[in-house]
Structure 1
Amino acid sequence: MIIVTGGAGFIGSNIVHGLNARGIRDILVVDDLTDGRKCLNLSDADILDYLDKDDFLARIQAGERFGAVEAVFHEGACSSTTEWDGRFVMKVNYEYTKALLAWCVAARVPLIYASSASVYGMGPVFREAREFEQPLNMYAYSKFLFDCHLRPQLAGIGSQVVGLRYFNVYGPREQHKGSMASVAFHFHNQLAESGRVRLFGGSDGYGPGEQRRDFIHVDDIVAVNLWLLDSPQVSGIFNLGTGRAQSFNDVAHAATRWHRAQGREGGGIDYIAFPDHLKGRYQSFTEADMGALRAAGYDRPFMDVETGVPAYLDWLARHG
């Protein structure tokens, strides 16, 4: 059996579908379905069972083994970068992941978990080393602190443990995320509604819409997770982006080209004044240093925005 926490969420549900594509259906999904709309991410997936995240935590803290577990993909978290209830975030993200690590180590079960590129704060260097890490919000701090908790233990752990620092992920099954969904999703909706895209004006020395992020399609995220499932000798904390920063304008143009190819009118860009409350708190540039993951053996290419965005919008068109 394979356990996927956060398995009804964005990345978790895509991992479930990736496992299904391999013919794997012996999957235990762990999540919090207070927002029941997330069930739609699994309505076309095949799983063995579902457990609420609190019930799962109680059972692993009691030492329950769940039979033969091949691996745990831990994607569950409070992922809101605007959540400032520190007690809540640390309980859900940090303490929960510590308990899961202890359980996996005791049972010698591989653990592949979601860290975050937000641990780097404003950058400008995005490499897996303490001197480049300075989280700026509670979500980032909770992810950072668990990575720090793991680092001194890694050499002494006999089973696989991998942390993946996701950069700006976009793609299918993120519709439930609301304001936290990707800019590709928001641009698509803006174009459908008004034929125009809204972008921030210039900031931090970048021209209007020229702020740059490392945008990575969720299919590439799934491919790396499944490669790690096949590579139990690999442990460590790794960046997971494309290694190539692209501008918000690039994403907007890719979405606009797709809409025009469907025969839709419009496609202009409206630049709005950069918000005062984000000044000094906004990542105007991110770009993953992918040297560590490449050195570990992952050699497949990653989709650029020009490839990934239309593929995503094709999926949205098929799924409504």
Structure 2
Amino acid sequence: MHKPESIIVTGGAGFIGANLVAALNAAGERNIIVVDDLTDGHKIRNLADLQIADYLDKDDFAELVERRALPPPRVLFHQGACSTTTEWNGRYVMEVNYRYSKRLLHWCLEQARPFIYASSASVYGAGAVFAEDPAHEHPLNPYAYSKWQFDQYLRQLGPTASQVVGLRYFNVYGPREQHKGAMASVFWHFRKQILDSGEARLFAGCDGYGDGEQRRDFVYVGDVVDLNLWFWRHPQVSGIFNAGTGRSQTFREAAEAVIAALGRGSIRYIPFPEHLKGAYQSYTQADLGRLRAAGCTQEFLDVAAGAQRYLQALARQGD
């Protein structure tokens, strides 16, 4: 029998979810149910140092939710998703990211419990304006579409009696992402490349950008976690919000930050991949207008400070 009033974190063995559980532990929370899919057993490492009340497979959790067989949570942080942007099985992505999310949303609405979920900056596609408005949204792949369509579904519901928050994560990096492989952040890849060969590999110029000058809003995972917790502590605030720094920095700056943190390494430029042309965000920068209007004054690390913190964490873990 589950204890009442648990905090539920879906995707809790994943990158952002595990960091969220760690932050909850640091705040004294132990009555946490982690929901995930551990088909990839490498994610176990993300749970090994965390204190939780229970673990549920995502399919078992969905069945319990369907049967209304779980006590209502204090809050549901829905971080679980198929986050592979190169997955083109749209039916699978929509089932995992869209339909699953709807089931959890309505369960929380019935119980009048907070539902804070992971959206994505990928919904903006190749646009140049990153403000939470359908006029600026044009998803380019099934992952982005699934996230966008759930945002649209929420918009169509209108005001809800309990808190519902969607956070559009920009380029998140930091500890506990090692299991993601090719989908891990460029900071993880740059570090590995430098340790292996002494060189960080960046894309040459494309779409009007010079070598390594493509720009992203890189946001440290600890800042994203703090943002989730800020919304939970402000239950009167609902809506869809960007979760980025509001600062665009180049891939070259990111590589230089890793080189500075490691104390060694150089940069080598490689041809821009043909298969990414026309399906690649060469520029992102979160518009934080809505976030600031909601009363959130949180500041965000730049890539120099974030890379330093990330690599220090990896060094402590012996990675």
With structure 2 as the length reference, what TM-score do the two structures score?
A: 0.97
- Aligned with 1:219 (options 219, 222, 229): 222
Query: Residue 44 of structure 2: which of 2, 18, 39 is its match?
Result: 39
* 1:79 shift after superposition: 0.3
> Secondary structure of 1:47's partner?
coil
The aligned residue for residue 144 of structure 1 is 148
Tell whether 2:98 aligns with 1:94: yes
From 45, 53, 56, give the equivalent of 2:58.
53
Partner of 1:82: 86
Note if 1:109 corresponds to 2:113. Answer: yes
**Distance of 2:56 and 2:277 partners within structure 1:** 41
- Which residue number in structure 2 is paired with residue 196 of structure 1? 199
Name the CA distance, whole Å, in 2 between partners of 1:39 and 1:229: 26
Unaligned runs of 5+ in 1: none
Give deviations 1:219-259, integer Å, cap 9, x for gaps: 00000001111110010000000000000000110111111
Aligned residue pairs total: 313
**1:16 alignment partner in structure 2:** 21
Tell me the distance in 2 between the aligned counterparts of 1:283 and 1:142.
17
Paired residue type of 1:237: I
Alignment of 1:121-136 (within 5 A): 121-136=125-140
**Identical pairs, percent:** 60
Shift of residue 7, structure 1, vs aligned partner = 0.3
Map 1:285-300 to 2 at 5 A: 285-300=283-298
Structure 1 residue 245 corresponds to structure 2 residue 248: yes
Q: For each residue in 1:280-301, what CA deviation from the matched residue of structure 2 results, as whole angstroms up to 9, or x when unmatched? A: 1111100000110111111021
One-letter code of the match for 1:10? F
- Tell me which of 167, 172, 177 is aligned to 1:164: 167
- Helix, strand or coil: the match of 2:240? strand
Partner residue, 2:122: 118
Q: Is the contact between residue 72 and residue 108 of structure 2 (CA under 8 Å) also seen in structure 1?
A: no
Question: Which of 170, 173, 177 matches 1:174?
Answer: 177
Q: Which residue of 2 aligns with 1:206?
A: 209
Residue type of the alignment partner of 2:278: G
Q: Distance in 2 between matches of 1:91 and 1:282?
A: 24
Q: Equivalent residue of 1:238, what SS?
A: strand
Q: Tell me how large the CA RMSD over aligned residues is.
A: 0.8
For residue 9 of structure 2, the aligned residue among 4, 17, 33 is 4
CA deviations on 1:200-234 (whole Å, 9 max, x unpaired) are: 00011111001000000000000000111111001
Offset from partner CA, 1:139-190 (integer Å, 9 cap, x none): 00000000000102131x1000000000000000000000000000000001
SS in 2 for 1:253: helix
Shift of 1:68: 4.8
Give CA-to-partner distance per residue, 1:85-119, whole Å, 9 cap, x none: 11110100000000001100001110000000000
1:2 Cα shift? 0.3
Aligned partners of 1:275, 1:42: CA distance in 2, in Å? 35
2:3 equivalent in structure 1:
none
Q: d(CA) in 2 for partners of 1:243 and 1:275?
A: 28
Conservation of the 8 A alpha-carbon contact between 1:154 and 1:236: no
Kept after mapping to 2: 8 A contact 1:154/1:161: no
